[in-house]
Structure 1
Amino acid sequence: TNSEIADDLHISLSTVKTHLASLMRKLDARNRVEIAMWAYETGRIRT
């Protein structure tokens, strides 16, 4: 959740929301799943 991300990174909830909105706009993503798929496909995360 956004709250968990904020807690883990020691940032505010609004900062998380701002960054997610920015990523969605830049990647033309409709949801956070599409952001995760992009990150995996481009090698930014591993399983």
Structure 2
Amino acid sequence: MCTILLAYRIAKEWPVIIGNNRDEFFARSAIPPRVFTNGGSNRWIAPT
């Protein structure tokens, strides 16, 4: 599964932070990404 991270206006010094990962192991089991919350206004989508 490939993962892309986008953080917008989290740090004043870096208005946009982008990261990614490409996983080449296709035989492992996985479920689709889902939305996580921390109880506040922040939300993120992540692979599980």
TM range (shorter): under 0.3
Higher RCO, 1 or 2 (CA under 8 Å, sep at least 6)?
2
Structure having the higher Rg: 2
Which of the two has greater helix per residue? Answer: 1
- Larger strand share, 1 or 2: 2
* TM-score, reference length from structure 1: 0.22
TM-score by length of 2: 0.22
